[in-house]
Amino acid sequence: MEIPEDAVLLRIFISESRKWHYRPLYEAIVAKARDMHMSGATVLRGPMGYGKSARLHTAKILDLSMALPLVIEIVDSEEKINAFLPVVDKMISSGLVTLEKAKVIHYRGQHPNS
């Protein structure tokens, strides 16, 4: 799989408690990205955050939240990201989606003998 040097970074900010057809939303988004042959996806969990409601979610032991913030990042060509956006729009009922230009320096897989 190739990514052009001039690519787009898609970031999807959601809560880990969100579901899509009884499955964690982040899993459903990553699976759909894979089905659509996106170059790759990474899910990052935030130890603290808040969104539009301003309700603070934290991983502190005294205020343990099961709804920590997640960020899903996908870098691919603008064409492939734009084709994926309507899918994301149908899947998320709340959250934040951002796009930014990205310059791809390296996109390498592991060597088969590693």
Length of the chain: 114
Tens digit of each residue's pLDDT (9 = 90 or more) over 52-63: 777 776 766 555
What CATH number matches the domain at 6-103, 3.30.70.120, 3.30.2130.30, 3.40.50.920, 3.30.1540.10? 3.30.70.120
Which residues pair with residue 19 across a beta bridge? 24
* Burial class of residue 62 (count of CB atoms within 10 Å of its CB; 0-12, 13-18, 19+): exposed
pLDDT of residue 53: 72
pLDDT of residue 80: 96
Given a cut of 60, whether residue 114 has pLDDT beyond it is no
Given a cut of 90, whether residue 88 has pLDDT beyond it is yes
Residue 20 CA, distance from chain mean position: 14
Domain boundaries, the chain: 6-103
